[in-house]
Every structure is written in C-alpha cells, then in structure tokens.
Amino acid sequence: MTAAQPAQAQKPGAGPPKLEVLGITKLFPGVVANKDIDLALHEGEILALLGENGAGKSTLMNIIYGLYQPTEGQIRVDGSPVEMHSPRDAIDLGIGMVHQHFQLVPVMSVVDNIMLGSESVDRGLLDRQSVSAQIQELSERYNMAVDPNSIIEDLPVGVQQRVEILKALYRNAEILILDEPTSVLTPQEIEGLFEVMELLRSQGKSIIFITHKLKEVLRVADRIAVLRRGEMVGEADPATTSQENLAALMVGRRVTLEMEKEPASAGDVLLQLRDVEAHTDLGEPALRGVSLDVRAGEIVGVAGVQGNGQTELVEVVTGLRPATGGSVLINGVDMTNASPRRITEEGAICHVPEDRHMYGMVDAYSVADNLVLSAYYKKPFSSGLTMNEQAIAQHAEELVARFDVRTPSVRTSGASLSGGNQQKMVVAREFGRPIRLLVAAQPTRGIDVGSIEFIHSQIVAKRDEGIAVLLVSYELDEIMALSDRIAVMFHGRISAVLPRSQATREKIGLLMAGVSVEDEANS
C-alpha cells in the first residue's frame, strides 16, 4: 500500500482497530449510563453510533475524549491500552471531538480560536501568521473554505462547524468524534459536511458519527452501532439494513416512520397575518409583508432555509418580538404586539419554542415546576403569594404519565433529563391545557426517533381535535409528513403556499432557494 493510498487500498473497516473500547461501564449515583460496552473503530472508517436520548452515547464519547473516567473497562489506541484523565490526554493521542454545541469564543477570530490552548509563539508573541498558513493549507486539503481572519460570530453556523473540525485537525487528530453534527445545519450544509467526512475518510481519518437521523446514517456510514439503555444491542451494515430496522433496534419496538393521518377538515380562520413586518435584533428587515391564514383543524407548515424570517415570524405571533407593521389576529381579535401572557390566555395559544433551553424551560427548576411555568400564578397552583406544592406535584405526575416523560421523579431538575425527555416535558406543559392555536417551532430538533414519533402523533391529534397548528421546521421531511398546506419562506416573505397534494420535494426545494413557481414552469 503506497503512501498516496492510505485508505483506498482496503475496504473501510478492514485491518486492526484504530480505537477499541473494551468492557466499558460507567456508573453515576443511581444510574448505569454504560454497561459492558465493546466497540471498535478502524482506520479510514465512518462508524455511526445510534441510540435514543439517554441511551449512553454522549457518556461513552465523553469517556473516549477524557471528560469522564470509566468505572470499569479499557480503551486502546492503535492496539495499546491508554488512560485519559482529561481531553488533553485524548488530543495527545490523536482524538478530536466536535461537540453539538460548538466550543468557540464568538468575539475571537478563526485563527485565535483554532490555536487557543495550543498557541504558537515567535519571539514572545503569538505567531498568527504561521498558524494562519497552516489553517489555509488544512482548509484547502480537506475542501473546507474558511477565512482565518474572520470573527466567529460573523460566520454562518456551517462555517463555524468547519472551524471546529479544522481545530481538531490542527491538533493532528486521526480520530474524530462528531456529536450530532447536522442538528443545526441546512440541507445544503449537511451535504457539504458529508463531502468533507468522505474526504477525511479517503485520507485515512477515522470518524465516529453520532446522529438521530436515520437517512443520514444510511447515506454516509460504513458501519452502524446501536446503543439502548446504556448497552450495545447490535451492529448493522448500511448496505443491507433499513430505516425501519434501525429504528426498531434503537427503540426496542416497531416505530412508525411515516405519519398516518386522515385528510384535514379545516374550519374557521384562527390565525390571520396581514402584511406583517418585523426587524431582526440588529435592526435589519426580517419579515417583509407576510400574510398567512391558519384554520382550525389544519396544519400549516412553514418551510425554508434557516435565517429567512421563520424565527421572527414565530416570535411576532407569540408576542416575543414587536411587529413594525401589519396585523396579527387570533380568533378574530387583534393581538398585534400584545404581551405573551395576553396572547397565551385570551388567544388560547400554546408555543413549543425552537430553543427549549432559552425559551421553553428553566434548567435549574424541577420537572414539576417547569410543567406549571405558564400557569403557576393561577389556582390551584397558587393562592396569593403561596405556592401549592401538592397541587403542582399532582399535576406533574399526571402529565409525566400522559406524555411519557421519563424521569426518576417530578422533583428531578429539568437539566438532568435527556434532550428527548426535556422536549416531551415542554410539549406536555403546552399541550396539557385548553388551547385553540398551537405554534410549534422545530418541535423535534435534536431528539431521537421514538420521541419524534410521539411528538408527531400529538401534533396530529391536536389537529384532529380542531386545533389550528402553525408548524415551523427546517426539516423538510417533517414539513412534508405533517402539513396539510405548506408555506415557503424566502428572504422574509411567503413565496408560495401549496396544498400538500401539490407539494413535491423538488418544488419546495426550488422555492426555498428563491425560484418562483412561475419561473419553474417557464423553465
């Protein structure tokens, strides 16, 4: 095998393991996070690691990266046993990790972020010039165009992720752990990431790819390993398995991937937007004359590439952002620039926000307290300044059971739940009270297939009860699966509204890119 063919001369996954995990067990007080796990990663291989939220994937990766130490078991790199007491040990062994939430300093440049902790110094000064040249060489070698002098906060999310990958490569990583790398990317950025991953593999790098998205696994992985409740339950070959089989292996039961629903029986208009305008936090136009109706008993999905006004649209409807023009009517009542509490109570609206940590929950609060955030000031949960803890706990026990929120206790903090159970907690609070309008933004972002199935079924059930549903998602599959009508946003405007029966992926994709239906017909 020549030096120019490090990974092409043999099938990915052949040869001795680059990384081995042998009998890894990790115990936390009252919890078995990992139990007797064996795993091997070979040179020039993309290994996908699947599992529900709380299955133990992140714990295992944190052990491999030196953030946790195992209770039992051994890790080997290139056949030799190793001990890692910190990420520095992992980095020294050629292991790099790109976290789901990027570890970058927003106000610093690309070059400063990449050499942070591994500074290059020339005559007592930071040698930015030589590091910048190395970054340029790495970005060209792996086809990841990045300007070393750019400030991180000015870069799109997809480019920030490239910086994280380049940071690991700058530290000579031969093994890359990518934790949910596509959860914040557009479809175009996802495909670009896969091309980078395939190029890295062709040059002999080994990659562990953690994701919930089954299509992505089948698209890019050489081998698939599945965790369930902290244990390794099986492996699969992408060439011979299916999404249905993988979902069943993850969850331990058959999962419905295609949402089955009856045709909508749309009634009166409950949400009416007319020529709505709004600005971004920087004062730039975000909404440019948006008009849209949502009727009782229908789901209107809003599709579009992230950053085309969807976030501002949801915030205007729910009272979190002022409209600078136009009107918002809910059930015939003008709610333009009303307070969130008035919109929630008089409009009978519930809101599942796109960022559950920032807008949907208080991490330090218990599950029980999170479940009354929108009603804590009402009877029976309070009387004057006194909280009724018994009523709050009883309410929480009912919702936890009804919405399958898996928690040791309703007094457990919201932050200690897995991502999927945090989302189900938010959904339980919002769906568990009388409503007429449901606004759901990214309701299944970053959660596993079992939780997605549950939340989708709850959204459809609300529609069938006669609730009007405004669904905003960057996942085109989700929009196509749930919507009765699809509105496409581009550059702050609704470019088209199509019945689901007339909406194809190709047509929606063109509209998301700014190509009008008329342009498509003419071409």
What confidence tens digit (pLDDT) does each residue in 194-253 have?
Answer: 999 999 999 999 999 998 788 889 999 999 999 988 999 999 999 999 988 998 888 888
pLDDT at 9 over 50: no
Query: For all residues of the chain together, what is the average pLDDT?
Result: 88
Rounded to whole angstroms, the Cα distance separating 333 from 321 reads 18
Q: 102-121: string of b/e by CB count within 10 Å (b at 16+)?
A: bebeeeebbbbbbbeeeeee
Distance of CA 49 to the CA centre of its chain: 16
Q: Are 182 and 216 in contact (CB under 8 A)?
A: yes
325-330 and 269-279: which strand pairing? antiparallel
Q: What is the pLDDT of residues 341-387, one digit of tens each?
A: 999 998 899 999 988 888 899 999 999 999 999 889 989 999 888 88
pLDDT at 2 over 50: no
Q: What is the pLDDT of residues 242-266, one digit of tens each?
A: 988 998 888 888 877 677 788 888 9
Q: 70-82: string of b/e by CB count within 10 Å (b at 16+)?
A: beebebbbeeeeb
pTM of the full structure? 0.71
Cα pseudo-dihedral 295, 296, 299, 302, rounded to 10: 40
Helices assigned H by DSSP within 96-156: 110-115, 128-141
Candidates 127, 100, 125; CA nearest to 114 is: 127
Candidates 115, 145, 143; CA nearest to 129 is: 115
Rounded to whole angstroms, the Cα distance separating 75 from 63 reads 9
Please report the domains of the chain, with CATH numbers, ordered by start residue: 1-94+174-254 (3.40.50.300), 104-173 (no CATH), 256-348+434-523 (3.40.50.300), 362-433 (no CATH)
pLDDT at 143 over 60: yes
DSSP 321: S
Average pLDDT over residues 156-185: 86
What residues contact 237, with CB distance under 8 A and at least 6 apart? 223, 224
Strand partners, 327: 274
Distances in whole angstroms, Cα of residue 321 to Cα of each of 317, 357, 386, 490, 503: 8, 18, 32, 19, 30
Q: Are 310 and 287 in contact (CB under 8 A)?
A: no
Rounded to whole angstroms, the Cα distance separating 484 from 288 reads 24
